Amino acid sequence: MAKIAAVILNYNDKNRVLALAKLLLSYNTFSIIVLSDNSGELEKNSNIMSNSNILILENGENLGYCKGSNAAFSFIDQKYPDIDYLLEINSDVYVAKEVIKGLITFLDKNLSYAIVGARMLEYGLEKASYYNFPTLLSSINDNLYINRLIHKKAKPNSVFTNYIDVDYIRSSLILMRRSYLKEVNYWDNEIFLYYGECALALKLKEKNYHEAILTSFTYNHNHLYHTKNDVNGYKDSCKSLRYIFKKYYNYSKIKIFLYNGSCFVGLILLKAIHLIRFVFSKRYRKKIK
């Protein structure tokens, strides 16, 4: 029987992290649940620390998503080397026990797959749970909002097959085969948050490992914040993708220059959108007074 560890990253979200850890513990599925704490607020909770199946890993600073996750994986490698699968799950996710069992069964039966996920729902509506590998053109279109004009709504995943092969899966809920991820040294530590899943998938692809979405299973990912729409989030997103284009795509200086130009124009557009929203919201508040 496969041994599974769960990893939950915490950054200023103590209550939901602890609630999720207790939920996963009740499933009696995990050998260990590791809470990788990027904000130093979990160590004071003696109730959760008293449970031997839940361990808190204090990182001492905000390591970001990739480094924070890798810290947990390194700990598991040292203390629990017999773990077969790693479930990485965000604090704002709810997943039923049956879904986790389905993911486990899939990896048990399909040895060429490194990562598997399920269809993602956000407040009851289906959202994109996977992405295609980015290209220069698609990334420029994203920065210039062209893709948003063409595709106004996220396309739902196909439900006509039990699973579909995909380029890379959103990391909000993924079950990973530990031995395969160890081969590629897990997440890329140079990426703070955005496109970490893309870099990981590119490394796995070089080893001929695959990723899949199980179309008969869903989970709920109820975001409170969408930081990519913030200026700092947008800048970090551009920085991460630029790094991927350089390291994994070996793009020429001309292509990097074009991408950087689209990032600059996109930043101006984003600031303009924020300004317009602020002006209209201010006028609206005056009207209702």
Report pLDDT digits (tens) over 155-168: 444 444 699 999 99
**Does residue 220 carry a pLDDT above 50?**
yes
**Does residue 151 carry a pLDDT above 50?**
no
pLDDT of residue 286: 55
pLDDT of residue 19: 93
Counting residues of the chain whose pLDDT is more than 90, the rounded percentage is: 77
**What are the tens digits of pLDDT across the range 249-258?**
999 999 999 9
Instruction: Please say whether the beta carbons of 142 and 176 come within 8 A.
Output: no
Specify the number of domains making up the chain. 1
- Reference 177, options 71, 78, 86, 112; nearest CA is 86
Assigned domain for 237 exists: no
Write out the H or E segment, with its range, that includes residue 242. helix 231-247
Assigned domain for 20 exists: yes
| Burial per residue of 165-201, b for 16 or more beta-carbon CB atoms within 10 angstroms, e otherwise | ebbbbbbbbbbbbbebbeebebbbeebbbbbbbbbbb
Assigned domain for 18 exists: yes
**Mean pLDDT of the 88-104 span:** 97
- Reference 242, options 199, 197, 185; nearest CA is 199
- Confidence tier at 276 by pLDDT (50, 70, 90): confident
Assigned domain for 123 exists: no
Write out the H or E segment, with its range, that includes residue 127. strand 125-127
Assigned domain for 222 exists: no
Residue at token pair 């530590």: 189
pLDDT of residue 155: 47
What's the CA gap between 236 and 240, in Å, rounded? Answer: 6
More confident residue, 87 or 50: 87
**Does residue 153 carry a pLDDT above 60?**
no
For residue 108, give Cα distances in angstroms to 26, 29, 166, 204: 22, 15, 19, 18
DSSP 156: P
Query: What tokens does 61 get?
Result: 């600073």
What's the CA gap between 209 and 206, in Å, rounded? Answer: 8
Residue at token pair 């001309």: 254
List Cβ neighbours of 86 (8 Å cut-off, separation of 6 or more).
4, 5, 6, 7, 73, 76, 175, 176, 178, 181
**Does residue 280 carry a pLDDT above 70?**
yes
More confident residue, 48 or 118: 118
pLDDT of residue 130: 95
Domain containing residue 83: CATH number:
3.40.50
pLDDT of residue 156: 46
Assigned domain for 157 exists: no
Assigned domain for 264 exists: no
Query: What tokens does 214 get?
Result: 């199980």
Residue at token pair 């689209």: 262
Residue at token pair 């869903």: 218
What rounded mean pLDDT belongs to the chain?
90
Q: Which domain holds residue 53?
A: 1-91
Instruction: Please say whether the beta carbons of 4 and 75 come within 8 A.
Output: no
Residue at token pair 């913030």: 230
pLDDT of residue 52: 76
**What are the tens digits of pLDDT across the range 25-80?**
999 999 999 999 999 888 766 565 556 799 999 998 999 999 999 999 999 999 99
What's the CA gap between 115 and 135, in Å, rounded? Answer: 22
Assigned domain for 274 exists: no
